[in-house]
Amino acid sequence: MKKVYVLIGNYGSGKTELALNFAFKAAERGDRTELLDLDMVNTYFRLTERGRMTQMKEIRLVSPNFACAGIETLSVPAEVASAFAMDWDTVVFDVGGDAVGATAVARYYQDFMELEPGALEVLNVVNIRRPLAGTVERIIKLQEEMQIHSRLQITGMINNTNLAIATTDAELRDGYEMIREVSERTGVPVLYTSGKKQFLDRFLAEGHDPKYIGTPLAIDTYMQRDWDSWIHSLDQNPSNPRPGNFYRTNMD
Partner 1 sequence: MALTLMKGSEAIAEAAIRAGARFFFGYPITPQTEIPEYMSARMPEIGGCFLQAESEVAAINMVYGAAGTGMRVITSSSSPGVSLKQEGISYIAGAQLPCVILNVMRGGPGLGNIQASQGDYFQATKGGGNGDYHLLTYAPSSIQEVVDTMMFAYEKAEKYRIPVLFLLDGIIAQMMEPVEMPEMVEYKPTKEAKPWAAMGWKPGDDPAKRAVINSMYISTEELTDHTNVLQACYREIEKNEVMFENYRTEDAEIVLTAFGTVSRVARSAVDELREEGYKVGLFRPITVWPFPYDELKKAVNQPQVKAVLDIEVNEGQMLEDVNLAVSGARPVEFLGHCGSLFPTTEEVKARILAMLKEGK
Residues 38-57 that bind partner 1 (CB under 8 A): 43-45
Query: Rounded to an integer, what distance in angstroms lies between the CA atom of residue 9 and that of residue 15?
Result: 7
DSSP-derived 3-state class of residue 62: strand
Query: Rounded to an integer, what distance in angstroms lies between the CA atom of residue 133 and that of residue 141?
Result: 9
| Position 252 contacts partner 1 (CB under 8 A) | no
- Which range touches partner 1 (CB under 8 A), out of 15-23, 55-63, 212-220, 226-234? 226-234
- Kindly list the distances between the CA atom of residue 172 and the CA atoms of 64, 89, 141, 206, 214, in Å, as whole numbers in the listed order: 33, 30, 21, 11, 13
Q: How many CB atoms are located within 10 Å of the residue 77 CB? A: 15
Q: Measured from the CB atom, is 43 or 186 closer to partner 1?
A: 43
Q: In the bound complex, what is the minimum distance in angstroms from residue 27's beta carbon to partner 1? A: 27
What character string, x for contact with partner 1 (CB under 8 A) and - otherwise, covers 152-191? ----------xxxxx-------------------------
Q: In the bound complex, what is the minimum distance in angstroms from residue 161's beta carbon to partner 1? A: 9
Residues 48-107 that bind partner 1 (CB under 8 A): 70-72
| Position 251 contacts partner 1 (CB under 8 A) | no
Q: Measured from the CB atom, is 141 or 202 closer to partner 1?
A: 141
Q: Are 89 and 3 in contact (CB under 8 A)?
A: yes
Non-local CB neighbours of 171 within 8 Å, separated by 6+ positions? 129, 161, 162, 163, 195, 199
Q: In the bound complex, what is the minimum distance in angstroms from residue 131's beta carbon to partner 1? A: 5
- Which range touches partner 1 (CB under 8 A), out of 29-37, 78-86, 196-204, 239-247? 239-247
Residue type, 179: I
Taking the alpha carbons of 241, 243, 244, 248 in that order, is the dihedral positive or negative? Answer: positive
Q: Pairing relation of β-strands 3-9 and 90-95? A: parallel
Q: In the bound complex, what is the minimum distance in angstroms from residue 138's beta carbon to partner 1? A: 10
Positions in the binding site for partner 1 (CB under 8 A): 11-12, 43-45, 70-72, 127, 129-132, 134, 162-166, 225-227, 229-234, 236-237, 242-243, 246-247
